[in-house]
Amino acid sequence: MLRPIRFAMLAAGMCLASVQFAVAEDLIVGMQEVRPLFDPAIETGNTGIPLSNAIFDTLIRRDFQADGKGTGGELVPALAESWRRVDDHTLEVKLRAGSTFHNGDPLTSKDVKFTFDRILDPKSQYGRSQFQYENIARVETPDDLTVRIVTKKPDPTIEMMLTFPASSIVPKDYFEKVGFDAFGQKPIGAGPYRFVQSIDDDRVILEAFPQYWQGKPPADKLVFREIPDLSARITALANGEVGIINNVTPDQIPAIETLGCCDVRSVMANSQVLNYRTSNPVMADKRFRQGLNLAIDRELLSKALWNGKAEVLHSHQYAEWGDLYNAERPKFAYDPERARELIAQSGYKGEEIDFITSPVYYTNGLAAAEAIVSMWQKIGVNAKVQVNENFYEISNDDPGIEVRNLSDWADLPDPNVTIMWSWTTTALWDGNEAFQELGRKAATTLDKKERFSLYQKVLDNFEDQAPGTVLYRVPDFYGVRHDIKWQPYTNYVMDFRPGNFAVGAGQ
């Protein structure tokens, strides 16, 4: 009923409106959420990454475009010109000469050392990031443009670590001058865009940093506007108020495509996983957990909730792992009969299982929760959805019989991150010593074959213990105006550097 009218109006109002709200050289990005703090080692969540990526640069960067799908895993130089392994424990990085921070300070090895030292300082406020760097013994600065990163144990992933958003280089002098709090509010980096202003719950305004080592960034002004509501984001996109919006759900793809001005671009991102709290008698029985896993019809979920675009994985793996990926492993199975048996064997007596989920945090998170709960109910599990607004509460030590939905760590294309971090840092999994032991060993093994076989054992253990499960790998959808050339990258990275962003060019 609304549609014909809308199109009539649309035709009339279009030319006028799009001129009114968008200026060609500026880009406004409509975000579901914009965090008001900008320390790249603090805001490492998916809402912080796009900002860190615009303001800061890392030594090494992942070439996401390499595979043409935005999920590429090749490592390319960024602030580093080159790097090499000096020995099993040492990585030497040569810095790019002449790169500067936004305030004009040259970027030198002391800034790099400071970047990591500040995180590793046990008294610092970087508690959430520290574990990622715990293998770093020290950072040495033989000269202004050389940095040596010395690890405690051999580390196969240390180069990858340097692409991590938390590894963004911060200016030592400025940081020390203003301190932690002020830096978080007025950050200075060496990335393509420099910070201008932040209005809480409204927008963050950045402007091009002309001295950026890759050349002048393509947008004069880059604004991240917070529009929590998806409908409002789409409206703003349709209205020409923003050029790109994030967190589009699959359901809304047709709505954007029928606007006529915009299209939906996607990239595979990380996987949505379930976490079971094993520290209670019901969940402690692995047969119960295996039963839960087998009762989930992932293909149905993908088809129904993701238009089939969510990918059911061959176990807990990513193709980007390269040599470490085992395409032979079977996909997660759906077998409600077997599930029923396992549940029965576990001695489950109908205790209530709380599926605790945030209503908004994960795309389709709540929908999937409700769908999964009803699948469990079908095999006789008394499950219930509990919506909890507070993401941070997800890991308090309440010993409830509960399931939580999370996503895995897929920031780096390496099983040490995707599997081990996911199931040791935020998991509700008790008694995973064997699993951890295998993981620790794999993390310090430089030999690729041996690592491969270790991770196969890790996966076996994971599937058997079933501390949770992987639902599927999900795509990220962005609504983008037709005239904007831009490709989204995996893991929420939004790249507006030269080469990935242009207005009015080509398309």
**Least CB distance to another protein at residue 21 (A):** 7
Q: Which of these, 325, 334, 260, 262, lies nearest to 297 by C-alpha position?
A: 334
Tokens encoding 293: 């896993």
Provide, rounded to whole angstroms, the least separation between the CB of residue 251 and another protein: 6
Q: What residue ranges bind another protein (CB under 8 A)? A: 1-2, 5-6, 9-10, 13-14, 16-17, 21, 36-37, 127-128, 181, 199-203, 225-232, 234-236, 238-241, 249, 251-252, 254-255, 300-301, 303-305, 359-360, 366-367, 370-371, 373-374, 384-387, 389-390, 392-397, 426
Q: How far is the CB of 126 from another protein (least distance, A)?
A: 12
Which of 324, 79, 321 lies closest to 191 in space, CA to CA?
79
Using the minimum distance from each CB to another protein, give the nearer residue, 34 or 93: 34
| Residue with smaller CB distance to another protein, 43 or 92 | 43
- Please say which residue, 406 or 493, places its beta carbon nearer to another protein: 406
CB of 230 to another protein, least distance (A): 4
Residue 483's alpha-carbon distances to 41, 240, 427, 475, in angstroms, are 34, 12, 43, 22
Nearest approach in angstroms of CB 15 to another protein is 10
Give whichever of 382 and 426 is closer to another protein, judged by the CB atom. Answer: 426
Q: Amino acid identity, residue 331?
A: K
* Shortest distance (Å) from residue 232 CB to another protein: 5
The alpha carbon torsion through 12, 18, 20, 22 (nearest 10 deg) reads: 180
3-state secondary structure 270-332: EEEEEEECCCCHHHHCHHHHHHHHHCCCHHHHHHHHHCCCCECCCCCCCHHHHHHCCCCCCCC
| Closest by CA position to 456, among listed 332, 325, 333 | 325
Q: How far is the CB of 38 from another protein (least distance, A)?
A: 13
Q: How far is the CB of 80 from another protein (least distance, A)?
A: 32
Per DSSP, 24 falls in state T
The separation between the first and the last C-alpha atoms of the chain, rounded to the nearest angstrom, is: 32
Our CB check for another protein shows the closer of 42 and 269 to be 42
Is 153 in contact with 441 (CB distance < 8 Å)?
A: no
Closer CB to another protein, residue 328 or residue 390? 390
Burial 264-299 (b: 16+ CB within 10 A, else e): bbbbbbbbbbbbbbbeeebbbbbbbbbbbbbbbbbe
CA angle 58, 120, 362 (to 5 degrees): 65
CB of 393 to another protein, least distance (A): 7
- Closer residue to another protein in complex, CB, 253/502: 253
- Minimal distance, residue 477 CB to another protein, in Å: 13
C-beta of residue 110 within 8 angstroms of C-beta of residue 98: no
Closest to 176 in 3D by CA, of 79, 98, 102, 110: 110
β-strands 244-248, 468-481 pairing: antiparallel
Alpha carbon distance 418, 72 (integer Å):
16
Classify each residue of 346-376 as buried b or exposed e, where b means 16 or more C-beta atoms within 10 Å of its C-beta. Answer: bebeeeebbbbbbebbbbbbbbbbebbbebb
- Reading the block at residue 176, the tokens are 């020390």
DSSP code for 443: H
163 or 247: CB nearest another protein: 247
Q: How far is the CB of 175 from another protein (least distance, A)?
A: 17
380 Cβ contact partners less than 8 Å away, ≥ 6 residues apart: 340, 343, 350
| Residue given tokens 């904007």 in the structure block | 484
Nearer of residues 96 and 128 to another protein, judged by Cβ: 128
